[in-house]
Structures are given as structure tokens and as C-alpha cells.
Structure 1
Amino acid sequence: MKLARSDKWFVGSIYIFLVLLLFVTFYPFWNALVISLNSGSDTARGGITFWPRDFTFENYLFVMKNDALLQGFMISVLRVIAGTILALIFTGLFAYAMSKKHLIGRRAVMVYCIITMVFSGGLIPSFIINRNLGLMDNFWVMVIPSIISVWNMIVFRTFFEEIPPEMEESAKLDGCGYFGSFFRVILPLSKPVFATLGLFTAVYHWNDWFTASIYINTQSLKPIQTILQQVLSSTVMMETMVNSNASAQEFLQRTRSVTNKSITMTTMIVATLPIVCVYPFLQKYFVKGVMIGAVKG
């Protein structure tokens, strides 16, 4: 269909706006990548925009030789795996129970859950509870408090209510109980919503730095995002990184092309890259899983 002149101008302006929006959102990440691949001494001169002037991998070699960053990366990976799996299992089981209309006290429990979404106890009560539970300076303080998400439970519950009850009844005829029905029938049919909420949960665990900064004092238990936050906020970042690792000191003595800014950008890329790599493979579940769980019911 042929567009009128005014429509062509309108469509063209929309495309221009979208291109500018893409540039504004993508360029900061691209600039960080360029600086991480450029010599630090050359970056200090300024003017680095779209391409590295002095291409080098020395920034990444320095980061890889730092034990604190590698340990933080492994802690983040373990936290994402443990936190995501446990959250999906416990939140899914909770939502499965809440999807049963014959559950006694179902409405009261739901009201209580909604209240927790609106009102929070605050940081001080949470700190006292975690301390009394013995979770201070413990890896599980980053996992256990976030096992149950009310919002995710509501999405799960809405999705489960749309599954035909005849499929679950057929499983019960074969001798399955509630747990058997959940893991053998409900779970295989709910892959889209599990993939979607699983990715949301994984991104939360990967990006969260605040929890560890409050409850974790041992440096070896801090995730990469908390270390990155310390790097970005510290005026003596390079001294802290170098003093924490003897091999990093030796490497720094052999090269003068590593600076605070280059290491900061390199650490940002290393912390962001895993999510960027995983996201495209699960993106197809986003619209399908969230829309099914949110529109109906």
C-alpha cells in the first residue's frame, strides 16, 4: 500500500527515533568494551570513541590474574545456580498449592502474601532476622531470603490454573500424588513460564550487589557485582586490586598499560558478559511465558 507524504514523514521520524534510541542504549556498553580492549596509558589521553587506538588484551590478563575477581565470579555463578533452582522449585510448589481452589485458608494466605508485596519490614528487621538465623557472613544469606517471590508465585499460579485438570487427574489415576503430579505433569507443561521467571531470577541474583555488601564481610564470599561496586566507588581501586594478589603485582610491574579506568571497564564487561550471552537463548520464552501468566485469570 502506497503511503501518503505525511505518513512517510511520520514513519521516517519513527525510524530515526528508534535508531537514536538504539545508539543511546548500546553505545555506553560498546564504549566500555572499546576501553577494555585499549591500552590504559593510551586511554588516559582521552578521545576513545568507537575503536581501540592501541589494541591489547592486557587489561583482561590483569583481571584474570586477580584472585579476588575470579573468586567473586565463581561465587556469583554458584549463587545464580543455587538461587535460581531453589527459587523455581519452592516458588513453583507454593504456587501449585495456591492454585488448588479446595485448599483450606487459600484466600487468607493470598491476602497475607499480597500485604508483603505492599509493605516491607525494612532493612533493620531483615538484618536482625538474618543475624538470629546465623546467616551473617554466610553464602546462603544471598539465596535463602529470596527463595519465595510473591510476584513469581502469582504468575506461576495463574499459569497452573489454565492447565486442564484432566491431565493431572490422569496422573493421579496412575498413582501419582501431588508431588508426582507437579514434577511429572505440571512442570513439563510449564517450561515457558519456568524459563521466563528463571531468567528473571538469575538476572536478579547476578546483578545484586547490595545483599553481600550488608551481610558479607569475608572477601572470598563476595560476588563479582559487589566487588565491582567497590571498584567503582573506591578512589584507590588499583592499589586494592594489586595489593590483594602477588601475581597481579608482578604482572603490573611488567606492563605500564593498565590503569584504573581500563581495569574498571574490563571488570564491567566481565561481569555483564554472561547475562548477555544467555539472554538470546531464552528470549523466545519471554512473551509466551509472561503473557500466559499475566493476561488470563
Structure 2
Amino acid sequence: MFALNRKTKSEALFDLANNLIMLCVCFLTLYPIWYVLINAFNDGKDAMLGNIYWWPREFTLENYKAVLASPGIMQSMWITVAKTLLGVGLHVFFTAMVAYALSRKDLIGGKFYILMGTVTLFFGGGLIPTYLLIKDLHLLENFLVYIIPVMFSFFDLIIFMTFFREIPEGLEEAAHIDGANDWTIFMRIILPVSMPVIATIALFHGVYQWNDYFTGMIYINSETLQPIQTYLFRVVAQSSSSQMMVAVQGNAANRTVTSQSIKLATMVVTTLPIVFVYPFLQRYFVKGMMIGSIKG
């Protein structure tokens, strides 16, 4: 038994090389994030001298004070939080509802609906037709432009439908015998037992809603309706971060804040919330991704 558990020399070398390669990949992935973080906590004037690689050389919070004192960033943050919470809730509910209907074998025309939805995975109308459609729906300069166009996703529907088809039919039959209709079964039986896939889809769509800057850039001109990522995009692309420095009071503070340090601090502020949420949904995410991979 002991001899069977011992690794050969070639296997040990392979494991060593594999671990070293994965450590290099992890370092290349995480170091850019770490670099932004330490420079965001470093004095702006001092950071311009360079050679900051591992730790802040002159630690300061003035960069974050400038970001949080900006009148636009807090409004953008509230817009992002609102559209993420509302968007995730409606997206999960409507996608799950349609998926439950299509998972039923007795649905008339179910295969045709699935075929039509599959086509949308490969072909789209393009940006200009989409813009004209949004305009005709009177969603320009409207908060609902973040919600309605992405309320349903056929890709997410496939994940939901695969999970629903694995739920024992006996649950629904027993509920029907007790007098429950389809709506009651969906709300009180199907959804409660579908928490792993619901958490997975919520994580998918939540990350999308939080990181989406394109919608605000194309369909929204009003600064009061722009999400935080659109705000960040304009700070980085248009160098408007210099306007945020005006919010920092006092000459001493102004000498420590630069346009570049404002950009880095803004990146950290806009990224951390979704990073903190992810670990709480990780266990559901892993379980949800395994849906349909193993048949028991």
C-alpha cells in the first residue's frame, strides 16, 4: 500500500513544474491589481517618481478623500447599486419563469421557441438597430434602459431549464394532487429548490450590471443617471479626474493628489464592492456550474 502511494520521480517533477506554472499565472493575474491598489494608497506626487512595486512608499488617504468628495461619484454609485439589485431580481425572475415553461414537456410549440432562442445566441441586430429600438421605446435618458433590455437572457435560460428538468416530476405531481396550480408550484416549490442555479445566474448578471459602462455611455447623457463604471470610463478616457481635485479642501491636500492617483483610487472604489460580494456566492457558483454535467 505504501509503495502505491509513492510518486515516481517523473510525477514529482511534473507536479513541481505544474505548481510553478500556476504560481506564475496567479502572480501575473493578481499583481496588476495589487499595483493599482498600492499606488492608490500612495502620495500622488511621490508616485510620479516611480519605483513603487510592492508597498506604498508614502501612505495616504487623500486620494480616496478626493474621490469620495466628488459630487458625481456617489450619485453614480447609487445608480449602479439600484440597477444591479433591481436588474438582478427581475432578470432572475423572468428568465426562470420562461425557463420553467420551456422545461415542461407538454408545452405546445416548446421546441420552436427553443429554436428561435438558439438563433439569438449566434445572430444579433447590431448597435444601430438596437439604438433605434431603444429610442422608439422611449428608453433614452431613462433609468429603465439598464433593466428592460437585459431582463431576459436565453443563455441563462438554458442553465435554468437544464436544472428544472432534473427536478423530480413527483414534486409537481404531488402538488397538483393537493390542488396547486402551475403558478403556485413555480413560486413555492420550484424556486425554493433552485437556489444554487439562482445564485449562479444572479452572480453572472450582477457582475454584468456592476461592470457595464457601455449602456450608460451610449444611451445616457445625463450625469445624474450614469453608473459608476461609465463615470470611471470618463475619468480615465477624458482625464476629467482633474475636476475631482477641486473637491479636496486645503493646499496641503492638493499638493498630495494628482490626476493619476485620482484615477487609481476611483478604480479601487468601483471594483471593491463586487469583489467583496463574490466570495459569499462562490459555493453556489461552483455547484450551479456543475448543473447537467453529471447524471445520477
Q: Report the AA paired with residue 233 of structure 1.
A: A
Moved more, 281-290 or 77-86: 281-290
Structure 1 alignment gaps of length 5 or more: none
What is the aligned partner in structure 2 of residue 264 from structure 1? 263
Structure 1, residues 16-71: CA drift from partner, whole Å, max 9, x if none?
Answer: 11111111001011111101111101101111111001001111111111111111
2:52 is matched with 48
CA contact (8 A) 2:245 2:257 kept: no
Question: What residue is the counterpart of 2:249 in the other structure?
Answer: 250
The answer on 1:4 being equivalent to 2:8 is: yes
Aligned to 1:16: 20
By how many angstroms is 1:254 displaced?
Answer: 4.2
The one of 211, 214, 220 equivalent to 2:215 is: 211
2:37 is paired with a residue whose SS is: helix
Residues 248 and 254 in structure 2, CA contact (< 8 A), matched pair in contact too: no
Residue of structure 1 in register with 2:272 after alignment: 273
Q: Secondary structure at the match of 1:55?
A: coil
The 8 Å contact of residues 113 and 150 in structure 1, kept in 2 or not, is answered as yes
- Say if 1:58 and 1:258, in contact at 8 Å, map to a contact too: yes
Q: Which digits, 9 at most, give the CA deviation of each residue in 1:188-218, with x for residues without a partner?
A: 1100000011100000001110011000000
Taking structure 2 as the reference length, the TM-score comes to 0.94
TM-score (norm 1): 0.94
* Structure 1 residue 294, shift from structure 2 partner: 5.3
Residue identity in the other structure for 2:189: V
Q: Which runs of 5+ in 2 are unaligned?
A: none
Structure 1 Cα separation of the partners of residues 292 and 243 of structure 2: 47
What's 2:92 paired with?
88
Using a 3 Å threshold, how does the CA distance of structure 1 residues 230 and 295 change in structure 2: closer, same or farther?
farther
**Amino acid in structure 1 at the alignment position of 2:240:** M
Aligned with residue 205 of structure 2, among 201, 207, 210: 201
Q: Provide the C-alpha distance between the structure 2 equivalents of 1:65 and 1:215, rounded to a whole number of angstroms.
A: 27
Matched, 1:38 2:37: no
Q: Which residue is 1:192 aligned to? A: 196
CA distance in 2, matches of 1:231, 1:18: 34
| 1:158–1:296 Cα contact (<8 Å) kept | no
Q: How does 1:154-193 map to 2 (within 5 A)?
A: 154-193=158-197
Of residues 26, 30, 36 in structure 2, which corresponds to 1:26?
30
Q: What does residue 289 of structure 2 align with?
A: 290
From the superposition, tell whether residues 268 and 104 of structure 1 become closer, same or farther in structure 2 (CA, over 3 Å). same
Amino acid across the alignment from 2:99: A
AA of the residue aligned to 1:40: G
Residue correspondences, number: 292
Partner of 2:109: 105
